[in-house]
Structure 1
Amino acid sequence: MEKNTRKNLIDSTFDEIYQKGYQGASLTTILKNAKVHKGSMYHFFENKKEMALVSIKEKIYEQFVQRYSSIIALESGYLEAFIKSIKDTTNRDFNKGCPIANIVQEMSNIDEDFKVLMEEIYQTFRKNIKDILDLAIKKDEMKECDTTKLALYIASTIEGAILSAKASGNIQDYLDVIDILSSYIISFKKV
């Protein structure tokens, strides 16, 4: 029961922040959607901010695991699997945008705890991409290159594509950018 209560709080908090931002998130709505009383929240978290930070960290890392761990576990075909994952739009919400970028833009300049957490999350995002590229090089599927810089470029391009689709309201903007990015990534493939 305790585990479910905490999970419900985490899920509800993340959803509320993703929809309305941290500053617009209502604790009343979070608790109502989690079907939890305020006292139960205090059993797990000191306050709304701590609950928000924990929920952001856990939910975003959960998304990373879902998106990248299966690629890293492969024996080969890393670039193709990565490209397939970034072309897959089923787990992206282009109306809301990227939760990482949204929180960075809203909170990084006004709260040090959010800034530190979002830097950590963004570095992990880039490291996941770098790990995939490094595996592709190790398995001789990809030409040697500076995978740190390439991972930064890829992460920045993906984030920009998500923002473009959010701004225009047109998912095709994302797909067009990802098509060009995919061609660029494939140019590193060994023939």
Structure 2
Amino acid sequence: METTREKLIRATFDEVFSHGYQGASLADILAKAGVHKGSMYHFFANKKEMALAAIEETILKKNLEKYSYVETYTSGLLEAFYTQLKDTSVRDFKRGCPIANVVQEMSNIDEEFNTLMKSIYGAFRANIKAIFDKAIEVGEMKPCDTTKLALFTTSTIEGAILAAKASGNAQDYSDVIEELIAHIEGKR
């Protein structure tokens, strides 16, 4: 059963993802969570603290779920990564990427959001780099600069999500990912 705090985290993340932090309504968050304001204050001092916690906990959890397999694979690592990249069911092309959305909205106007988003984006790049490092270790890729390849890959994924959001066509995402995979395959 979901705790009060978990309900607040889920509702806050959904509201911020859908409307941005500045457009997120505290009343709507509380209504979605089925929680009174007094209960919120038991866990969080204000909307900003709750939003920062919701963004951090939700995005880091989702990224861990997407990329945690890297430590367990001894072969087929790139194929598993490609399968994950191609899976459009785990993407929200209407709302876009929660990382990019918050970075674009808040990073230049609030230092706490800026610091958090740099940390989350850094963890995302580190996850992708770990996949490439492991692929090299198990002989699926030739040695290469995995730091640059991870930057290129994360930037391409973000751009693919934005392209699909802008056009309203998930095929745009799939087409970009197909080209990204072809690029990575050149490193084999």
Q: Which residue of 1 aligns with 2:65?
A: 66
Percent of matched pairs sharing the same residue? 61
Structure 1: tracts of 5 or more residues without a match: none
Contact 1:126 1:152 in 2 (8 A): yes
The CA distance in 1 between the partners of 2:26 and 2:176, in whole Å, is: 37
Query: Could you report, residue by residue, the CA deviation over 1:32-82 in whole angstroms, capped at 9, with x for unpaired residues?
Result: 110101011000011000000000000001111110002332121111111
Contact 1:142 1:188 in 2 (8 A): yes
Q: Which amino acid aligns with 2:101?
A: N
Contact 1:72 1:78 in 2 (8 A): no
Note the C-alpha offset of 1:187.
1.3
Q: Which residue of 2 aligns with 1:129?
A: 128
Q: Which amino acid aligns with 2:37?
A: K
Q: Which residue of 2 aligns with 1:112?
A: 111
The CA distance in 2 between the partners of 1:72 and 1:8, in whole Å, is: 31
RMSD: 1.0
Would you say 1:75 and 2:74 are equivalent positions? Answer: yes
SS of 2:140's equivalent? coil
TM-score, length-scaled by structure 1? 0.96
Comparing 80-89 and 65-74, the one that deviates more:
65-74
Note the C-alpha offset of 1:101.
0.2
Alignment of 1:1-191 (within 5 A): 4-189=3-188
SS of 1:90's equivalent? helix
The CA distance in 1 between the partners of 2:136 and 2:142, in whole Å, is: 6
Runs of 4+ in 1 over 4 A off after TM superposition: none
Structure 2: tracts of 5 or more residues without a match: none
